[in-house]
Amino acid sequence: MKREELAQMIDHTLLKPESTAADVQALIEEGAQLGTYSVCVSPNQLPIETPEGLKVAVVCGFPSGAHKSEVKAAEARQSVELGAQEIDMVVNLKLVKEGKFDEVEADIRAVREASEGAVLKVIIESAALTDEEIVACCKASENAGADFVKTSTGFHPAGGASVHAVKLMRQTVGDRLGVKASGGIRDAEAALAMVEAGASRLGLSSSKKVLDGLN
């Protein structure tokens, strides 16, 4: 894969809570230089200005997902009003573990309706789930109108993306939804393995290192 092709699959990410406006500006400048698809930041960083062609993604209900649906919806709505073009929301893992997938779907739908016009990615925290739960989360996401399913926040102790999870997510959603792999992808070999497994987007904080590995 060419460097430019992989770069256009990357959400160049900075989600450390202590990140400053200067840190985010540096992220934007690096993302533009690398040719990434977007930058992904926390909602408290909005509004931000990016060069033409560099999209803005913002997390929602992050990192735990343990928020009421109304709170997630309000957060997503405000982020879109402040310029977010993509919303990466975290599912309610309590509901997932209780097997209440109708409620999981309703939680996602609330954010979908609140973020009309934006791309919606649903973070399922795959490393903390069984295969059956991964499949059910993907189906709930699709039913609720999401555009992508995403492996991980990168903050959960269970870990980040895995080739197995990405393959399973792609098998479940087919070509109807995108699959974003994120969490622990720190070199070109890992990134390319995720793409080979079916990822159509990558969440990376080490974008330059990954892209340099293709040279």
Q: Is 72 left (phi over 0), alpha (psi -120 to 50) or beta?
A: alpha
Residue whose entry in the numeric block shows the structure tokens 């992508």: 148
Told to judge if 180 belongs to the known catalytic residues of this protein, a careful annotator would answer yes
| Residue 184, helix vs strand vs coil | coil
Helices and strands (H, E) in the chain, number of each type: 9, 8
The answer to whether 39 touches 207, Cβ cutoff 8 Å, is: no
DSSP structural state of residue 23:
H
Q: Which of 174, 173, 167 is nearest to 193 (CA)?
A: 167
Q: Which of 86, 42, 129 is nearest to 27 (CA)?
A: 42
Distances (CA, A) of 77 to 49, 58, 110, 214: 18, 11, 10, 38
Distances (CA, A) of 74 to 53, 60, 110, 118, 123: 27, 10, 9, 14, 18
Told to judge if 68 belongs to the known catalytic residues of this protein, a careful annotator would answer no
Q: Which of 61, 25, 55 is nearest to 43 (CA)?
A: 61
- Of the residues 11, 88, 107, 147, only one is catalytic, namely 88
Told to judge if 97 belongs to the known catalytic residues of this protein, a careful annotator would answer no
By annotation, the residues acting in catalysis are 88, 150, 180
